[in-house]
Amino acid sequence: MDHRRDRAENQCGTRMTSAHEKRHSSMNDRTDRVTITACPDGPLLVRGDFSLVAAPGRSPQEPERKVVALCRCGKTGIPPLCDGSHKLTGFRAPAPADDPS
């Protein structure tokens, strides 16, 4: 079993949830609005009520937690989730677009 996901910490300062914390967290209320945060040179943090589809044609899976980190560097060992590999590879994300408001 690969425990890298459980101990990874991304650059946004959000620690990935351990298996113990996942089992004991309150996941009964799945009505949260979804937000996606692009961490500087790191993963996309997805928060709220969502499902993941690993590939076209596969069934949606509801994660066991309300926040997941999705890999942007392509080097993770646990796709589509982030395992912190972006730190080792020196991944640099494109700069965000200017806010039009």
| Average pLDDT value over all residues in the chain | 77
Per-residue pLDDT for 14 more than 80?
Answer: no
The pTM for the full model equals 0.65
Banded pLDDT at 101 (limits 50, 70, 90): low
Provide the residue ranges of all domains of the chain, joining segments of one domain with +. 1-92
CA distances from 73 to 9, 59, 63, 69, 94 (A): 15, 24, 21, 12, 11
**Confidence (pLDDT) at 31:** 60
User: Average of pLDDT values for 72-81?
Assistant: 95
Percentage of residues of the chain with pLDDT beyond 70: 66
